[in-house]
Structure 1
Amino acid sequence: MIRHDVLAALPVRTAVPALERALEEHGCAVLCAPPGTGKTTLVPLVLAGLLGPSDRPVRRVIVAEPRRIAARAAARRMAWLLGERAGERVGFTVRGERVVGRATVVEVVTTGVLLQRLQRDPELAGVDAVILDECHERHLDADTVAAFLLDVRATLRPGLRLVAASATTDAAGWARLLDDAPVVVTDGVSYPVETVWAPPAAPVRPPHGMRVDPALLTHVASVVRRALAERDGDVLCFLPGVGEIGRVAGQLAEVSAEVLQVHGRAPAAVQDAVLAGSVDGRRRVVLATAVAESSLTVPGVRIVVDAGLAREPRTDHARGLSALTTVRVSQAGAGQRAGRAGREAPGTVYRCWSRGEDDRLVRFPSPEIKVADLASFALQAACWGDPSAAGLALLDPPPAGALAAARSVLAAIGAVDTDGRVTARGTRMAGIGLHPRLARALLDGAPEVGARRAAEVVALLSEEPPRSYGDDLAAAWRAARRGGDAYAARWRQEVRRLTSAVTGGGAGTGAEGPGAGSDDAAAGLIAALAFPERVARARGAGAYLMVSGTGAEAADGSGLRGAPWLAVAVADRPATAVSARIRLAAVIDEDTARSAAGRLRVAGEEVRWEDGDVVARRVERLGAVELAARALKSPAPELVRAALLDGLRREGPELLRWTREARELRERLGFLHRELGGGWPDVSDAALLERPDAWLEPELSRARRRADLGRLDAGQALRRLLPWASGEAARLDELAPERIEVPSGSRVRVEYGGPQPVLAVKLQELFGLRETPRVAGDAGVPVLVHLLSPAGRPAAVTADLASFWQDGYRAVRAELRGRYPRHPWPEDPSTAVATRRLNNRR
């Protein structure tokens, strides 16, 4: 029996006529409806024709949700509204679970399931409309599904109706993407939500990688207790991940309320219990990840406590590491969370940050396509027939570097050919519904260790086991086999699915395959096949070097420490850390490493600058990991030259022999380049090392080691850079003389190493010189005269000798004549005779 009273109370009903008109006229629409309006439950039933007159035609509708928990909940809610059970006219399909029947016309699926279905049947035969729910979350699968559906509408099914639905989204952007589709907006239930700003009293450390400051979690728990005391109703508390939920739950053990935990890994029964509401009237505290932000109504919630954090994927393409990282929640996400408090009645949101911090939050979360590993996306695009993804209608294009890295991975595992087109192997990989790396490990590992065992290990890798299982993959495998927790139950379900996928449904016959080797060896092989770049060799004290070149460390006390080789399955590298941290790995031997990472094996001559000299060896490597090496007696000259140049770039021209004359020549040339430019060469380190051929040949080609560079006369080499062709080289001594003759007859050296040439000379030797000496020809650059006492100590500095004789000399004379009475101190030095001698004795 249809619950018309509940349906009539859903605010989205007022927008349904406009939505139907938009779809009738345009075929696509963007539906903006706040949480709790019924966009996820009422709209699909209306579009399917299940709520209209009995003679209204029934249409098949697919609703795509980003998460399994939301898909199951939406289907069960719609079935309840119809007075039925899920699997009748409304059903759902998520990975590993399908609840549909012959009469099903509304099917709720995850975006991943819909993606697989589109690859198998691009026309979506029999489907009349698709609703992409919560499109604001910008999951990669959802963006890809939208692009494929638009392609289907343009080429195969122009009559297929498409709705992009969300509470907080870039409506204008989605409208443009959907061929300028109309935007239908509906108001929500006008239950006010009061905001209480509840920042920690003392500063807390910002999130770093997966780490959240325990002080913040303690504060969140205290805010939950405060909310229970200050307000009525159940509490929904948002935290970034399962670990944080567990820690806060531990701190709330004494509260007078039932504490429940909701996340993607929670058992379906627990999720269902949370969504069913309290059965005995006892207050509840629901600790949840972002899965509770949208599509779900948790009955009884009047209070939201928001820790202000979220998890987003990040990929380090240079190191081949992917991981979730903790970030500040976006304004859109915070708005969604706050809306949970006003679904059924007026509510309150306690935000664990300040009003000032709120203004600095980003508007929307980062689209996954911008930050995630794109290997799965690239394989889906290749299977779709558009390897470059250039023809796909996407709100944000994939970053070129990330897409190139993804296509490189696909080529290495045989999923695409040299032109990027999908292979038969790649098509099979895509159909398994795993990351391409894991699909490769399953397909290639099954013949080696047996289909069942390969499936068991891959299932562990597809959803990282709880930290309580440890960091040893083989030990975690054994824990999952005997485990009775929710993770183990999901793992067994996934194992059945993967075993069937790799055996073609023949899990009961021959599924174990050859089954050679121990479980430890099997775990290592599968992990190495999935992540060959993370095969790692020990380099002492728990430290390892991956073949990708990334350093990694096993945790203190880990049983993995000391193993000569590891296949690293899970690792993360905090932004400021030197090495990655190994989270999950298996012990392997060198033969397994060579086999799994064989495509990364290189052998050849290596001549490099190492430890301050040229090292020439014949080396065998797995990527960055050295396997074997022996010295080379006669390395190729071009390789030696390249190594010497590398040494010069690292250590600078000081490797050459620099006499005093060479250094002075370099300073003179530097001065002329600075003052006159033209053909006078730039002799800075960077310029000299940029064009070594111009000044170091042929000596450089004859050099073989550091000592040979040390014998190379830098001054003689620099003279090759002089502007000989123009004839200016002959003016070197005129423009930048080594010495200047002063009135006493002395030839005094000029220093060109500073910003201005310096002439350091005893004061008495300049008597009679009225003007400051100048260099650089017509440029007339005055030297900076350092006037010295008879003992050679600085007495004065001037760049204007005439002014000094007139104004400064008198004070210097008064100070020095008593100290040096045997030296001349004339009244007018500009007309006196210069001398290097003392006064005559009397």
Structure 2
Amino acid sequence: MIRYDALDALPVRGALPALDDALEGHGTAVLVAPPGTGKTTLVPLALAGLLGEGPRRRVIVAEPRRIAARAAARRMAWLLGEKVGDSVGYTVRGERVVGRHTRVEVVTTGVLVQRLQRDQELAGADVVVLDECHERHLDADTAAAFLWDVRQTLRPELRLVAASATTDAQGWAELLGGAPVVEARGTAYPVEVVWAPPARPVRPPHGMRVDPALLTHVASVVRRALAERDGDVLCFLPGVGEIARVAGQLGQLGDVEVLQVHGRAPADVQDAVLAGGERRRVVLATSVAESSLTVPGVRVVVDSGLAREPRVDHARGLSALTTVRASQAAGRQRAGRAGREAPGAVYRCWAEAEDARLPRFPSPEIKVADLTAFALQVACWGDPDASGLALLDPPPGGAMAAARDVLAAVGAVDPVGRATERGAALARLGLHPRLGRALLDGSGLVGAERAAEVIALLSEEAPREYGDDLAGALRRARRGGDAYASRWRSEFRRLRAVVSGVSHPPTGIPHPEAPVDAWAHSSEEHQVGLVAALAFPERVAKVDGGSYLMASGTRAEARDGSTLRGSPWIAVAMADRPVGKGHARVQLGAVVDEETARLAAGALLDERDEVRWEGGDVVARRVERLGAVELAVRPLKDAVPGLVRDALLEGLRQEGFGVLRWSPDAFVLRQRLAFLRLHLGEPWPDVSDDALHARVEEWLEPELSRARRRSELARVDAGEALSRLLPWASGEAGRLDELAPERITVPSGSRIRIDYSRPEQPVLAVKLQEMFGLQESPRVAGVPLLVHLLSPAGRPAAVTADLASFWRDGYKGVRAELRGRYPKHPWPEDPAEAEPTRHTSARLRR
């Protein structure tokens, strides 16, 4: 019996006529309805014609989470006075409750994407409602893009509704071809905001880590809320671990019941939370309780201000959730939970001044998540780069390139990005392509049972108490009676059934060295390690010093006391990046051996000649590698000359041209050329290190081609080689001694060497008496030399670039200071008219 009293109380009923008109006239609509208005429950029933009004249709409702899909189906069945599976059913991964007469089916967005891949026309469906589209989950964005493509090309009669409480309505309307926006009025009650920041600063979240001081503060705020307010308390925390810690700190609260709700919670616990109860309750929840679910009895929300979002580090190849500050939109959604049924209050565990600095909306997954699964879906859809799909945000190019590399490595796409037969098989498994590859290939080696066991364990993060050894965690899951073990068994059975239905799965293992039968009879530890390595081939790691070096090049270390420590090889299934550490830390891994590593990561095997400059000389060797891991090294006697030449060039880049033999004349030649280049420019060559490297073929090639090691470079006459850069073709080379002479004749007749070490103004160091009678400073290439006038003992007495000015103004002071010290040398009163000399006065008189 239909509960019309409950249906009539839902505010969205007033928007149904406008929604019907939009779908009749346009075929698509965007429904914006505040939380608690009935958009998730009343709208699908009305669209299906189950309330006695309108045509009867088959409606698919897509929810972002399994808990929301089950709850929505149960609520709609209750409103109809039926049980789930009659008019309303649901399908989530591993569970399907649908009957012959089902007209409304609630599915997760991931299930909807899989269904579209199998049946692009979505036969039998008349309307699809994408609920909570504001959350911008990747599956939801993908499903919306595929549905729009179907409507445009195959089924123009298919009706689409994008529904949300808080969303970019205009953006979705444009995406759905200018769809009308229908707004429903809510009856939300006022919610008082109480700012409750910690008394002392707490450390910001990093990775998955949350400061324990913040969790202690959240627990104290929950107690405060219980004391100050009536009704149930809904407390938002970022993850399962934080929920458990806060629950532990709350302990016993007298007559108050503490419940934990999250995606991993058992179905009976989820049902208990959503059904309400007679005792007062504290519900500790992740963001699953932000939308879709109405938790009855809640009058108070305590918001930690944190959320979990996916991130991927493409350089390291490690992907995981990370803790972030919740957005302003999420804060509004959470606060609204306190005003669903009556006036309420929200206690925000941060300062009011911080609120304006929070991001406005959560980051769309397509911008921050690992896109490997998305890239496979769009490749199977026939649009490998997703350029033709209707997406609110295009996928980042770098993330898509990284995703395609992974898909190519597991044989899921061909060189141009199209899905292969193997890729299509992987997409149908409902797993990340990495795990799908390991399930298919592992089943052929160790059997479907073992492969499904391991992949079920890798599909969802195991509790920390299961340890970091994958084989040990598997044994604990088998005998465990906790909620995780229950979910593991369910997923294991699903995967075993899925892979058993795949006939002759195409293999992605290049040339296994061991007979396939050998793996089926190997130890359980070896089998577990093989499946893990198949899932993460670039994370097979060899011990190297005090840590492990992965094939990807990332270093990782096992925890103290871990059974993995000391194993020559491991396969890393999960890792994190501790604060202040330069490498990863293994959270879950398996012991493997070199044979397993070679088999699983065979695509990364490479043997090549390596010739490099190392330790100050050329080192030539033949190296077999598994990615970044060296497997075998042999000295190489007959290295390819081109590789040797490249190594010698690298040595010159690292150590400079000082490796060559530089005679004094060679040094001077380089300085003279630098002087001419600075003051005259072309055709005189640039002889800086960078320029010489750029033109090395022109001046050093014959010697490079003959040399094999450092000692042979050290015999190269740098001056002779450098002379090849002189402008011989233009004839200017013949003017080198004219424009930049090594020596210059001074008035005394001496030939004095010019110092070109300062190319902007070369230096002439000469005894003062030898310059008598010279009226102007000498020049080279038009540049006056900087003259260092020396005493008879060869010490600097004066420095000038203007000799005439010195004779006139500076000489008197120098003469007064030095004539008494050097009485045997001439000190004329007028040096500009005196005779230059290299000798003393006595010798001059003779």
TM-score (norm 1): 0.90
The question of 1:580 aligning with 2:584 is answered yes
Show CA shifts across 1:629-660 (max 9, x none).
22122112122112222333333333333344
AA aligned to 2:278 is V
**Matching residue of 1:637:** 641
User: 1: CA distance between counterparts of 2:93 and 2:651?
Assistant: 56
Give the aligned residue type for 1:103.
H
Aligned to 2:178, what secondary structure does the other structure show? Answer: coil
**Residue 7 (str. 1) matches residue 11 (str. 2):** no
Deviation (angstroms), 1:741: 5.1
Structure 2 SS opposite 1:401: helix
Letter in 2 for 1:266: A
Match of 2:75 in 1: 77
> Percent identity over the alignment?
74
**Whole-angstrom CA distance in 2 between matches of 1:656 and 1:525:** 52
CA distance in 1, matches of 2:81, 2:831: 116
Number of the residue aligned with 1:22:
22
Asked if 1:476 is matched to 2:481, the reply is no
Residue number in structure 2 paired with 1:565:
569
Is contact 1:748–1:761 with CA below 8 Å preserved after alignment?
A: no
Contact 2:259 2:281 in 1 (8 A): no
Structure 1 residues 731, 36: closer, same or farther in 2, change over 3 A?
A: farther
Residue 537 of structure 1: aligned partner: 542
Is the Cα contact below 8 Å between 1:168 and 1:332 reproduced in 2? yes
Are 1:446 and 2:443 matched, yes or no?
yes
2:452 maps to 455
CA–CA distance in 2 between the matches of 1:47 and 1:815? Answer: 111
- Equivalent in the alignment of 2:319: 322
Cα deviation 1:499-534 (Å, max 9, x = unaligned) = 11111299xxxxx99952222111011111111111
1:94 matched to which residue of 2? 92
Deviation at 1:239, TM superposition (A): 2.5
Give 1:599-614 correspondences, 5 Å limit: 599-614=603-618
Task: Go from structure 1 to structure 2 and tell me whether the alpha carbon gap of 1:249 and 1:656 turns closer, same or farther (over 3 Å shift).
Answer: farther
**Structure 2: tracts of 5 or more residues without a match:** 504-516
Question: What is the CA distance between 1:117 and its match in structure 2?
Answer: 0.7
Tell whether the 8 Å contact from 1:378 to 1:403 is kept in structure 2 after alignment: yes
Deviations 1:48-77 (CA, angstroms, capped at 9, x unpaired): 222343xx3211111111111111122222
Equivalent position to 1:485, from 461, 482, 486: 482
The offset of 1:253, in angstroms, is: 2.5
Cα displacement string for residues 587-629 of structure 1 (whole angstroms, at most 9, x for unaligned residues):
1122111211222212232222233322222222222222222
1:152 to 1:658, Cα distance in 2 relative to 1, 3 A = same
CA shift in 2, pair 1:647/1:226, >3 Å = farther
Bigger mean CA offset, 114-123 vs 639-648: 639-648
Secondary structure in 2 aligned to 1:559?
Answer: coil
Deviation, structure 1 residue 104 = 1.7
Q: 2:401 aligns with which of 400, 404, 411?
A: 404
Map 1:119-268; keep pairs closer than 5 Å: 119-253=117-251, 257-268=256-267
How far is 1:787 from its partner? 6.3
The residue identity in structure 2 corresponding to 1:173 is G
Indicate the residue corresponding to 1:273 in structure 2. Answer: 272
Post-superposition shift, 1:810? 7.3
Structure 1 contact 91–101 (Cα < 8 Å) conserved: yes
Counterpart residue number, 2:418: 421
Name which of 544, 553, 567 aligns with 1:549: 553
Residue-by-residue CA offset, 1:700-737 (whole Å, 9 max, x unaligned): 01111122222223333222223322333334444444
1:618 aligns with 2:622: yes
Query: Contact between 2:27 and 2:160, CA under 8 Å: does it hold in 1?
Result: yes
Matched to 2:646, the amino acid is A
Alpha-carbon separation, structure 2, partners of 1:201 and 1:693: 69
**Distance 1:314-1:798 versus aligned 2 partners, 3 A rule:** farther
Offset of residue 468 of structure 1: 1.0
Q: Return the offset for 1:174.
A: 1.8
Measured against aligned partners, the alpha-carbon deviations of 1:675-718 in whole angstroms (never above 9, x if no partner) come to 44433333333333234212211100111112222222333322
State the 1:559 CA deviation. 0.8
Q: Secondary structure at the match of 1:148?
A: helix
CA contact (8 A) 1:88 1:104 kept: yes
Q: TM-score, normalised by structure 2?
A: 0.90
After TM superposition, the structure 1 stretch with the greater mean CA deviation from structure 2, 672-681 or 626-635, is: 672-681
Deviations 1:364-422 (A, max 9, x none): 33322223222212221222222332322222222333323323332332323344333
Contact 1:447-1:514 within 8 A present in 2 as well: no
Asked if 1:464 corresponds to 2:469, the answer is no
- Deviation by residue 1:56-102 (Cα, 9 ceiling, x = unmatched): 32111111111111111222222223333322222211111112222
Deviates more, 1:793-802 or 1:571-580: 793-802
Residue identity opposite 2:309 in structure 1: E
* Distance in 2 (alpha carbons) for counterparts of 1:338 and 1:513: 59
Question: What is the CA–CA distance in structure 2 between the aligned matches of 1:820 and 1:302, rounded to whole Å?
Answer: 105
Q: Tell me which residue corresponds to 2:754.
A: 749
In structure 1, distance between residues paired with 2:710 and 2:350: 59
Question: Aligned AA for 1:599?
Answer: A
For 1:176 and 1:26, the matched residues in 2 are separated by 13
**1:498 aligns to 2:477 (yes or no):** no
Q: Show structure 1 runs of 5+ residues with no match.
A: 507-511
Q: Which residue of the other structure, out of 517, 522, 541, is the alignment partner of 1:517?
A: 522
Moved more, 551-560 or 211-220: 211-220
Q: Name whichever of 40-49 and 677-686 sits farther off.
A: 677-686
Q: CA separation of 1:805/1:374 partners in 2, compared to 1, >3 Å: closer, same or farther?
A: farther
Q: Is the 8 A contact 2:94 2:494 kept in 1?
A: yes
Judge conservation of contact 1:533–1:546 (CA < 8 Å) in 2. Answer: yes
Question: Structure 1 stretch 176-185 or stretch 108-117: which is displaced more?
Answer: 176-185
What is the CA distance between 1:473 and its match in structure 2?
A: 0.4
Q: 2:101, 2:230 → 1: CA distance?
A: 43
Return closer, same or farther for 1:32/1:755 CA change in 2, 3 Å cut-off.
farther
Judged with a 3 Å threshold, the aligned counterparts in structure 2 of structure 1 residues 764 and 570 are, in CA distance, closer, same or farther, namely farther
Deviates more, 1:682-691 or 1:802-811: 802-811
| Alignment correspondent of 2:512 | none
Kindly report the root-mean-square deviation, in angstroms, between the aligned alpha carbons of the 2 structures: 3.2
Conserved 8 A contact 2:191-2:339: yes
